Amino acid sequence: MANLTIGCFPGLVGSMTYDFALKLAEAAVDKGHTVSIWFSGNATGSVKANQKHLKDYSTGETHLKRLLEKGVEICTCEACTVARGVQKPDGIEGVQWNAMHWYLAKIHGADRVLQIGGE
Amino acid sequence: MGDVKVTFLVQRPQYKGETSRLAITHAIAYQTVEILLDDGDTVTPDLCFVGEGVLGLEKGQKAMDLYGITSTESHMKNAMLVDLNILVCKEDLQKYGISEDSLPDAEEMGAEVKINVVPFSDIQKSLESARHVLFF
Amino acid sequence: MKLGVFVSDYTLPWDTLDRIQADTLGLILVQNGIYHAVSRQGMQPSPLLGKTDQVYVLSEDVETRGIDASSLDAKAKVVTYSDVVDIIMNDFEKIAWMG
């Protein structure tokens, strides 16, 4: 089994790239791979808890919780997150908060890295 | 596992979007990654600019004055201060009429490295020798 | 270098992909990138398909857009998310996301 690290920068709302990143992560963990996800840029807004699922918009919370239960490590860039007005107590439980070197450390141990930019 | 080489490839201009700037700051983070790694493990990034990614690298940026945000120029100087290997595509500078003299350096701040203006073939070599490639 | 490239847009405004040399190049078409593999009467084939014979198209993104798989270029292989995981783990050494 291998180790996949995904860097996800696009926002939850306004793009379906975020959804792609989570679906790929789930497919990988379901096959027994170890998966880490790093959120930076607009993706960090997705770690806010209590998201309302309106059918015109994707929702991240349900998927993130399911990935966490499956053992996927998820970390948000603290600076990017607080810049968007989301503080740790408001965040989804189980999501880690750290600095950019967390991502580089995961890259160090990864067999494959998929960096998904934000625009 | 030792050293892992990673190539950051910036293909888009700075400022309108955030991603190109995040490439620079993520590459700079190599300096502190060792606190999360085992002894002897390191990450060595190359930071490359190609295509429209070479736009937004010129000296004299006033983003702090006008928008209150750190300029790309400042981030590039910080990258040089931490000895990042920065490769800027020579052909693309020529394509967009940007002279090598207009690129920033951080010599006055004590940096020992400068931006390397190189042919695309050198950037190809960086991509080939890297364990992972990160496109921005 | 064995490089797998995810393509998620139909319009590619930059030329990195034209310049990178890879011994093995695979294209994994996702999101709006799947339109590169759609062949319809009067529609020019995407030049992207000329770059390699290894072209994969994500089934969910084809179906989401109402595209009939029979209208895809013969070169394109329709794959699931699970297949994509196997492809990036087994067929390529490095993977990249292109817009």
d(CA B89, CA B117): 6
Q: What is the DSSP letter of C58?
A: E
- C-alpha distance from C97 to closest chain A C-alpha (Å): 6
Return the minimum-mean-pLDDT range out of B52-61, C32-41, C81-90: C32-41
Rounded to an integer, the average pLDDT of B18-24 is 96
Predicted model pTM: 0.95
pLDDT at B117: 98
pLDDT at B66: 95
pLDDT at B44: 98
Suggest the residue from C14, C17, C27, C97 to mutate for an interface test with chain B (most B CBs closer than 10 A).
C14
pLDDT band at B82 (very low <50, low <70, confident <90, very high): very high
- C-alpha distance from C29 to closest chain B C-alpha (Å): 16
pLDDT at B12: 92
C1-51: pLDDT as tens digits: 999 999 999 987 668 999 999 999 999 999 999 999 998 878 788 999 999
Higher pLDDT, A118 or B136: B136
Rounded to an integer, the average pLDDT of A22-37 is 98
Which residue, B46, B45, B57, is CA-closest to B20? B57
pLDDT at C13: 64
C2-36 in b/e burial notation, b at 16+ Cβ within 10 A?
Answer: ebbbbbbebebebebbebbebeebbbbbbbbbbbb
How many percent of chain B have pLDDT more than 70?
A: 100
Contact flag B133-C21 (C-beta cutoff 8 Å)? no
A115, β-bridge pairs? A7
Q: How many other C-beta atoms lie within 10 A of the C-beta of residue A70?
A: 12
Which chain B residues are within 8 Å of A100, Cβ to Cβ? 25-26, 28-29
Contact flag A31-C6 (C-beta cutoff 8 Å)? no
Contact flag B51-C21 (C-beta cutoff 8 Å)? no
pLDDT at A119: 74
Which chain A residues are within 8 Å of B1, Cβ to Cβ? 108-109
A65-81: pLDDT as tens digits: 999 999 999 999 999 99
Phi-psi region for residue B2, left (φ > 0), alpha (ψ -120 to 50) or beta? left
Give yes or no for a contact between A37 and A67, defined as CB atoms under 8 angstroms apart.
Answer: yes
pLDDT at A118: 78
A26, A28, A115: residue with CB nearest C97: A115
- C-alpha distance from C96 to closest chain A C-alpha (Å): 6
pLDDT band at B113 (very low <50, low <70, confident <90, very high): very high
A53-64: pLDDT as tens digits: 899 888 899 999
Which chain B residues are within 8 Å of A42, Cβ to Cβ? 18
**At residue B118, does pLDDT exceed 80?**
yes
B34-45: pLDDT as tens digits: 999 999 999 999
